[in-house]
Amino acid sequence: MSVRLYLWQRATAALMVPFGLIHIAVIFYATRQQMTAADILSRTHGSAAWASFYGVFVAAVSIHASIGVRNILTEWSALADRAVGWCAILLGIVLALLGFHAVISLVLM
């Protein structure tokens, strides 16, 4: 792992800690309030704050996970360096697409 990937992975990890805690707190709040999916969507619909929060969270997760999987493939697979890089990029794109699709569903649909 180069210093560039190392710093991206550490920076996204640092970001994910508070975001993850907030995400878990929201889950606890929603379940304790016995909110339905419709209740939740009525609060998140059109919210720039929730779109920003989960948008940044998805970006951080996509970057962090793809770098991590890149390291695992480097150490545990017989793939060449270039192939490992492309696999990691592909995983990052898939995670970002799935995540942003969920964020759009949360605030726009």
Residues that bind other proteins (CB under 8 A): 1-7, 71, 74-76, 81
State in angstroms the smallest separation of the CB of 72 from other proteins. 10
The structure tokens listed for 66 are 């793809």
Class of residue 62 by CB neighbours under 10 A (exposed 0-12, middle 13-18, buried 19+): buried
Decide whether 9 or 44 has the Cβ nearer to other proteins: 9
CB of 76 to other proteins, least distance (A): 7
**Nearest residue (CB) to other proteins, 53 versus 74:** 74
Q: Backbone phi, then psi, for 80, in 5-degree steps?
A: -75, 160
Closest CB to other proteins among residues 28, 75: 75
For 18, half-sphere exposure in the C-beta direction (CA atoms, 13 angstrom radius) is: 5
